[in-house]
Amino acid sequence: MMNEMELLIELHKEGYRQGPGSDEATRFALSMTGIDGSRPIEVADIGCGTGASTIILAQSLNANITAIDFLPEFLDVLRSRSIAGGVADKISCHSCSMDDLPFADESLDLIWAEGSIYNIGFENGIKNWKKFIKPGGTLVASEITWLTNDRPKEIQAHWDAEYPEIAVASAKMAALEVHGYSPIGYFVLPQNCWLDEYYNPMRARFADFLKKHEGNNMAESIVAAEKHEIDLYEKYRSHVSYGVYIARKL
């Protein structure tokens, strides 16, 4: 019988995205960096999943991109996508933990982390990754963020349990400044990045997933947890989203 991680991989690796976002949002965030797309640069896409953002970066930049994810199964999908997209020569895949990265100090022009930095915590990530970025280089990270100062108790309790580091954008900006970055841009992912790009495609996979694993309590629990998160987002979407943070290393 498959374990929980294997079931999660199976459910999510078929998705174009493993978290909220969109190609348009990736391109918009990239435009806010001010990076010259014709200049050769070194890029790390950390927590890349199956490569939605990686492919956009490769298409948009004259870059060597190292795609990092701890799940080889996701990287296998990314390799296939990069070949289909004609950008395989720009992307190298590396399976490792995001707190044990294979980069030399000050070797990267850009670190990109869409919907992934929560795995080690926002403050821990920006602090520990800074050494890899060249002076004047750029960090782009999307992070679960409160959109209002006061929230209903139900959504507050959920995210306090799931990710206690959740905060308003001003707190994330302050953390960037404390750790030697200058924030240069910020925007909130719109609702279509959650519903059309992530939740609805995942919801469409539930029936086949449950049919394949009929009678598997763990598979049923995974789907129930995902449905609960979707329900909470649809109910409280005005209070929470991903904020996309663009900052320059001083």
At residue 1, the pLDDT reads 73
**Burial class of residue 164, CB neighbours in 10 A (0-12, 13-18, 19+):** exposed
At residue 199, the pLDDT reads 98
Predicted TM-score (pTM) of the model is: 0.96
Tell whether the model's pLDDT for residue 2 goes beyond 90: no
> For residues 112 and 115, what is the distance between their CA atoms, to the nearest angstrom?
10
* Paired strand residues for 242: 144
How many CB atoms lie under 10 A from the CB of residue 107? Answer: 14
Going by pLDDT thresholds of 50, 70 and 90, the confidence category of residue 169 is: very high
Q: What is the dihedral of CA 202, 208, 210, 215, to 10 degrees?
A: -170
At residue 111, the pLDDT reads 98
Tens digits of residue pLDDT in 171-230: 999 999 999 999 999 999 999 999 999 999 999 999 999 999 999 999 999 999 999 999
Tell whether the model's pLDDT for residue 158 goes beyond 90: yes
Tell whether the model's pLDDT for residue 85 goes beyond 90: yes
